[in-house]
Structure 1
Amino acid sequence: MMTRAQRAGMAGTMILAMLVSNAASAAGVDTGTSSMTSITTWMMTWIPLSAVILIVVSAIAWIAHLIRMDWAVRLVVGLIVVGSASYIVGLFGLTA
């Protein structure tokens, strides 16, 4: 059961999504090229960069004894896989 505040938040989010999508369409944005460029930028830059930052944070958390070593290793291996896969897909998988 949703509270009144949750329903108001969801309604506000839906209204904002409708307004933003209409504004983007009305502005004459070339959505095909812009979207591909944006996705490529995320795949090549932001996802690998955030994975590196999270690897550093997990190392600091392991040093500070906030997480156990086995969890730190799992997290780091997963982040390396995600960052590498994202970069490789951005490098070879997307063409505009």
Structure 2
Amino acid sequence: MVFEALECATCGGVDIHRHGQSATSKKRYICLNTNCMRKTLILDYTYQGYRPEEEQIAEMAINGSGIRDTGRVLKISPNTVIKELKKRGRH
């Protein structure tokens, strides 16, 4: 049995447990930290748009990067960049 030291990408907590698997047979984990905004996470995403890069998108937009440039650098769709920026604008 191999022990993997896992850390939540959102809150940095180490209280992570297995939580089944996704529809694409990826291992799902649950963060048991009550202050964490994201409850479940997957370590190896197939589609790059699901990776937790909201902070990078916002930071690149503040620094003057365009939507297409941000998508190209982060290897995600420009539509994903637009969607994340719209979500940020509402909060």
Q: Please classify the TM superposition score into its range, dividing by the shorter chain length.
A: under 0.3
By percentage of residues, which structure has more strand? 2
* TM-score after normalising by structure 1: 0.26
TM (norm. structure 2) is 0.27
Higher helix share: 1
